[in-house]
């Protein structure tokens, strides 16, 4: 997900999206540990999306544009 798309979301929507991604990341890590994950790049992409969301929430909290 692009940062531009995330900036259009409200704080509540960002928190919901973050929780959803963290849940998905947990499930993918579990699959990876069991050797059932076909595409390990999914883990990396989800981690990056979570970091983007956390950064945007921090920026909004501090009032940075």
Instruction: For the chain, list the domains and their CATH numbers.
Output: 3-60 (1.10.287.310)
pLDDT at 61 over 80: yes
The alpha carbon of residue 14 and the mean position of all alpha carbons in its chain are separated, in whole angstroms, by: 9
Q: What does the alpha-carbon distance between residue 64 and residue 32 come to, in Å, rounded to a whole number?
A: 37
Say what the pLDDT of residue 29 is: 95
pLDDT digits (tens, 9 = 90+) for 33-48: 999 999 989 999 999 9
The confidence band for 3, taking pLDDT boundaries of 50, 70 and 90, is confident
The confidence band for 20, taking pLDDT boundaries of 50, 70 and 90, is very high
């Amino acid at each position: 997900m692009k940062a531009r798309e995330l900036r259009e979301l409200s704080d509540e929507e960002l928190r919901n999206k973050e929780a959803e991604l963290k849940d998905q990341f947990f499930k993918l890590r579990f699959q990876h540990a069991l050797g059932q994950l076909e595409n390990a790049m999914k883990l990396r992409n989800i981690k990056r999306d979570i970091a983007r969301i956390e950064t945007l929430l921090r920026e909004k909290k501090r009032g940075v544009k």
